[in-house]
Amino acid sequence: MKKFIEEFKAFALRGNVMDMAVGVIIGGAFSGIVTSLTDNFINPILNLLTGHATYNITDVAGFASAFISAVINFLIMAMILFCLMKGINKLLDFGKKPEEAPEVTTKICPFCKSEIDKDATRCPHCTSELEMEEAEA
């Protein structure tokens, strides 16, 4: 059972699965905006043009507030999802060791500014003799 849970965890927290889940949730939230746009702006305009309905100023204000509410709901959902993903990513990176910086194997010749081996005592490009302090630095 423990192996099954580990395998499921590895599957569920893979990048592709998480990206797909975010896409589905954002898509569902965005469909609310599209539905609100259709119900609160396009349909009333079509009803006015075809003469099926007449609207007063309170109806128009209600349509606008319903659409603004749908947009705000989408933004809240996106912010919550962003914070959730940020927390999951931080948890996944918690146990990993930071990568060590690669060892420096070269340095710059102070005379010709060419890249040379860090242990060199003479520059192979300009043949300048380097002091031991420079060679060890």
Give the max Cα distance, the chain: 94
What is the C-alpha to C-alpha distance for residues 102 and 105, in angstroms, rounded to an integer? 9
Burial code (b: 16+ CB inside 10 Å, e: under 16) for 33-66 equals eeebeeebeeebeeeeeeeeeeeeeeeeeebeee
Segments making up each domain of the chain, as ranges: 2-93, 106-136
How distant, in Å, are the alpha carbons of 1, 38, 67, 70, 102 from that of 73? 40, 16, 10, 5, 47
Three-state secondary-structure class, residue 56 = coil
Backbone angles phi, psi at 115, to 5 degrees: -85, 125
Overall average pLDDT of the 80-99 stretch: 82
Q: What is the pTM of this model?
A: 0.59
- The tens digit of pLDDT for each residue in 41-88 reads 999 989 888 988 888 888 888 999 999 999 999 999 999 999 998 988
